[in-house]
């Protein structure tokens, strides 16, 4: 709100101020007339002061004038009208259109890796971004991919790391190069690799928590404790993707080329980025939904016990096994995109409940997989990722992680019966998703427990209402309830926990 004052009003204001500081001067505002008693003047001053105090309190802005002209002859009603109509403008929420992606790719792997980008890139959703390549590649029009550009020449930058590759310099400059394209209405630049898959709805949810007008560097660490020691526990790992707010990108662009020259010995692009962030004094804001996935083998354990935070990205998809069995990597991810479309906020979120009639523990990872365990396992056990994966040095060493994991089964009888999602649809009458999970048939060790054997189960059906507001509330796992427990299958309901409802038998 801008202060607009007529000259005559200014005179009144100045005179009133003089009067306040010097009570002996007989000051009478020219518009009020000469016969006004002193009492009236004090009254005006009082009303004016009260108004000011209230306005300042309500609006939190300090530049509102005291509208003498209105107040001098005003009734209480118009005073109220003025006080009650402050223009508090809701800030516009961050949407996909405010994000510009910078994707690091290489011509050599483009044929294969572009299939990962195609999984999440939606031209029709007006996504903006550039794939930055080292060399030209063949393209077809309307291939459903972002525009391609060749990175600027970096041969004059020194690169002195014996293990790494100098393409790291080119890749670390992607945000600065994207910034220089001068796109409008950008709030965030988001970096990813060509083998990163983003769940863009959740990316938007996470970025909405932060003020894009401030300096933010948002991402996540490696799963590997040793990687984090070698590189940094304060670095956003590039493959998992990270976000840089517009003003920070602007500040980065101004200094990055000088900064990079100071660190020729670093290995990659993301440690170069972190070195410049350290020079700018901006720490990493950790968001656990970005996944670097520096692991080998099967991601199952990590996905089935995802932290209670929206899943934003998946990376190293060429390194790990397909996330659904018996299909290709890309087909597996395509399948994950189906529940994502119906309820992105709830994708892969875990809930834990019990089939008390059978003494089974049920863990639902919505849209991905179900585990049924013989016996009662506590939530604190089931919410830990099971070690279905190897560490970044291809060893089964759980001291390699800076988070808790558990063995797949502490007792052979506790090896979970796993069901992978095969189908999902929305019943628009009941406004519920119905997802089906089919048993993954693998041999189970012999078990002498008296507890009923879940091996007769073929499928699990899960009902869940889409919950786009899930992350507007404080983080909490959903509750699940076993509705039907038949010989061949279970029917489970997943939703917001009711008053007093907890995960117990």
Ligand X SMILES: *[C@@H]1O[C@H](CO)[C@@H](O)[C@H](O)[C@H]1NC(C)=O
Phi, psi of 245 (to 5 degrees): -70, 160
Nearer to ligand X, 149 or 465 (CB): 465
- Does residue 465 contact residue 432 with C-beta atoms inside 8 Å? yes
Q: How far is CA 82 from CA 55, 70, 85, in A?
A: 9, 10, 6
- Whole-number minimum distance, CB 11 to ligand X, in Å? 24
User: Quick one: which of 468, 472, 496, 504 contacts ligand X (CB under 6 A)?
Assistant: 468
- Binding of residue 85 to ligand X (CB under 6 A): yes
> What distance, in Å, lies between the first and last C-alpha atoms of the chain?
59
- Whole-number minimum distance, CB 88 to ligand X, in Å? 13
Within a 10 A sphere around the Cβ of 465, how many other Cβ atoms?
15
Nearer to ligand X, 136 or 468 (CB): 468
- Whole-number minimum distance, CB 430 to ligand X, in Å? 3
- Binding of residue 63 to ligand X (CB under 6 A): no
Phi, psi of 12 (to 5 degrees): -60, -50
- Per-residue binding string, ligand X, 425-464, x by CB under 6 A, is --x-xxx---------------------------------
User: Quick one: which of 18, 80, 81, 378 contacts ligand X (CB under 6 A)?
Assistant: 81
Q: Which stretch binds ligand X (CB under 6 A): 1-9, 78-86, 378-386, 494-502?
A: 78-86
Q: Which of residues 255-294 bind ligand X (CB under 6 A)?
A: none
Nearer to ligand X, 205 or 225 (CB): 205
The count of chain residues that interact with ligand X, using the rule CB under 6 A, is 11
Nearer to ligand X, 427 or 455 (CB): 427
User: Tokens 């304060």 correspond to what residue?
Assistant: 234
Spell out where 38-137 has E strands.
Answer: 99-104, 128-133
- Alpha carbons 377 and 222: distance in angstroms, whole number: 28
Q: Tell me the DSSP string of 97-162.
A: GGEEEEEE--TTTHHHHHHHHHHH--GGGT-EEEEEESS-----TT-S---EEEPPP-TTS----S
- Binding of residue 75 to ligand X (CB under 6 A): no
Nearer to ligand X, 67 or 264 (CB): 67
DSSP class of residue 132 equals E
- Whole-number minimum distance, CB 425 to ligand X, in Å? 8
Chain residues in the site for ligand X (CB under 6 A): 78, 81, 85, 427, 429-431, 465-468
């Amino acid at each position: 709100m801008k202060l607009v004052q007529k000259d005559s009003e200014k005179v009144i204001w100045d005179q009133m101020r003089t009067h306040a500081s010097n009570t002996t001067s007989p000051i009478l505002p020219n518009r009020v007339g000469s016969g006004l008693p002193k009492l009236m003047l004090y009254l005006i001053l009082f009303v004016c002061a009260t108004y000011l105090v209230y306005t300042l309190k309500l609006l939190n802005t300090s530049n509102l004038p005291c509208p003498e002209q209105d107040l001098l002859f005003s009734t209480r009603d118009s005073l109220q009208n003025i006080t009650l109509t402050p223009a508090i403008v809701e800030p516009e929420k961050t949407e996909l259109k405010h994000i510009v992606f910078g994707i690091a790719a290489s011509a050599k792997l483009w044929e294969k890796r572009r299939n990962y980008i195609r999984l999440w890139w939606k031209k029709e959703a007006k996504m903006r971004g550039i794939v930055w390549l080292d060399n030209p590649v063949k393209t077809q029009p309307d291939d459903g991919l972002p525009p391609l550009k060749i990175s600027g020449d970096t041969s004059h930058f020194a690169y002195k790391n014996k293990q790494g590759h100098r393409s790291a310099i080119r890749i670390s400059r992607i945000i600065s190069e994207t910034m220089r394209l001068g796109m409008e209405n950008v709030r965030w630049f988001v970096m990813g690799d060509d083998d990163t898959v983003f769940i863009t709805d959740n990316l938007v949810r996470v970025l909405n928590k932060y003020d894009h007008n401030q300096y933010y560097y948002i991402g996540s660490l490696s799963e590997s404790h040793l990687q984090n020691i070698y590189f940094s526990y304060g670095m956003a790992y590039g493959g998992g993707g990270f976000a840089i707010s517009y003003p920070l990108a602007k500040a980065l662009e101004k200094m990055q080329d000088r900064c990079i020259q100071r660190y020729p010995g670093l290995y990659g692009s993301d440690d170069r980025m972190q070195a410049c962030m350290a020079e700018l004094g901006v720490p990493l804001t950790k968001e656990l939904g970005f996944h670097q996935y520096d692991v080998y083998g099967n991601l199952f354990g990590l996905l089935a016990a995802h932290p209670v935070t929206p899943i934003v990205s998946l990376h190293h998809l060429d390194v790990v096994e397909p996330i659904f069995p018996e299909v290709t990597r890309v087909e597996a991810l395509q399948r994950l995109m189906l529940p994502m479309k119906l309820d992105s906020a709830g994708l892969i979120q875990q809930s834990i409940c019990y089939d008390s009639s059978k003494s089974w523990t049920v863990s639902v990872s919505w849209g991905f997989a179900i585990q049924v365990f013989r016996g009662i396992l506590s939530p604190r056990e089931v919410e830990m990722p099971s070690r279905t994966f190897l560490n970044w040095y291809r060893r089964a060493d759980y001291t390699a992680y800076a988070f808790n994991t558990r063995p797949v089964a502490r007792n052979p009888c506790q090896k979970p019966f796993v069901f992978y999602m095969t189908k999902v649809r929305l019943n628009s009458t009941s406004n519920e998703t119905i997802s089906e999970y089919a048993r993954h048939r693998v041999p189970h060790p012999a078990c002498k427990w008296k507890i009923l054997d879940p091996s007769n189960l073929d499928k699990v059906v899960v009902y869940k209402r889409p919950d786009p507001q899930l992350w507007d509330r404080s983080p909490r796992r959903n509750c699940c309830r076993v509705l039907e427990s038949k010989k061949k299958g279970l029917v489970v309901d997943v939703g917001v926990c009711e008053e007093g409802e907890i995960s117990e038998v």
